[in-house]
Amino acid sequence: MRVTIFGGHGKIALLLAPMLVEAGHEVTSVVRNPDHVADVEATGAAALVSSVEDADEATLVAQLVGQDAVIWSAGAGGGNPARTYAVDRDAAIRSMDAAVAAGVGRYVMVSFSGSTPDALVPEDNPFRHYQDAKIAADDHLRGAGLDWTILAPGTLTLEPGGSAVNPGARFNDGDVTSRELVAQVALAVLDDPRSYGKTLVFGDGDVGLDAWLDSV
């Protein structure tokens, strides 16, 4: 498949890109900072310098024409509510609409386990801006007309990842997840119809990916 990763210099994306390349996919990683091109190219992916925050839908459509799949792993990184909404909500939604317009069938969103109204933190909690932005983006994806999968890990770590999940994880309950496992799950679900139309909440665990996908 021809795959575009948004947020190509993020920790998950830098782990995922070489996995995709090794699996035979043709990968384009979108990065905002030209200084990050060398890091991306070292993974075997092609680097595309573009700001998802600034790119309009027409620009995104042009970038996605001829692609088979999008993986959204971009984020504002928190701290600035306006930028959180601009990237995690608005730019993500533009990328979904652009994927539809460009004829891209598959879309994998890297979200998080708290992206649900059932897990809302208080409105005065600074984390709420991120939560609201992700909920809005995920909801838009569910109705966008794409073959979508939403990955919803919890607190992310830099620990080495196994290739097994805790399928019973929920927000702040068994959802601690290594970034390496998130990358492994993204690779596993990319062209697996068992994951289409599913929101997959998980953490590090002991259930193999194939058995897990059989059960979702």
Using one digit for the tens of pLDDT, what is the confidence trace for 157-188?
999 988 999 999 999 999 999 999 999 999 99
The pLDDT-based confidence of 202 (bands split at 50, 70, 90) is: very high
Partners of 71 in beta bridges: 5, 108
Q: How many CB atoms lie within 10 A of CB 187?
A: 22
Q: Extract the tokens encoding 53.
A: 């925050």
| CATH number reported for the structural domain that contains residue 122 in this entry | 3.40.50.720
| Average pLDDT, integer, range 32-43 | 98
How high is the pLDDT of residue 78?
Answer: 75
Domain count of the fold of the chain? 1
CB 166 within 8 Å of CB 144:
no
Report if pTM > 0.95.
yes
> Tell me, what amino acid is at 107?
Y
Averaged pLDDT of the chain: 97
Tens of pLDDT, residues 76-133: 987 799 999 999 999 999 999 999 999 999 999 999 999 999 999 999 998 999 999 9
Phi then psi for residue 164, to 5 deg, are -140, 150
Range of the domain at 108: 2-215
The pLDDT-based confidence of 4 (bands split at 50, 70, 90) is: very high
Alpha-carbon distance of 13 to 129, in angstroms, equals 23
